[in-house]
Amino acid sequence: MTYNLSEREKEVLELLTLGYTNNEISKKLSVVVDTTKAHISAILDKMCVENRIQAAIKAIKEGVV
C-alpha cells in the first residue's frame, strides 16, 4: 500500500524510518523545519497513525519504504 504519498512525503518517511529528527530531515532535503513538519503531518494523516514511530513501523512492515 502506498497511502497516496507524494514523492517528497516518501522521502521524508524513509528518513523517519532511519531515525532522523525534523532538523536533520530539513537539512538533508534543503527545506525549512516547518515544511518538514507539514510533510510529517500529511504522512500521519494519510497512514492513519498518531505519531512518527507508528508511521515508521507501519511503513517498514508494509514495505512502503
- At 43 the pLDDT is 98
The yes-or-no verdict on residue 63 having pLDDT over 80 is yes
For the domain made up of 7-61, the CATH class stated in words is mainly alpha
The string of pLDDT tens digits covering residues 28-55 is 999 999 999 999 999 999 999 999 999 9
Q: Is the pTM of this model over 0.85?
A: yes
Q: Considering the chain, what is the average pLDDT of its residues?
A: 97
The whole-number average pLDDT for the span 10-26 is: 98
Per-residue CA distances from 65 to 18, 19, 48, 55, 56 (Å): 10, 13, 16, 11, 9
- What are the residue ranges spanned by the domains of the chain? 7-61
The whole-number average pLDDT for the span 9-27 is: 98
The yes-or-no verdict on residue 1 having pLDDT over 80 is no
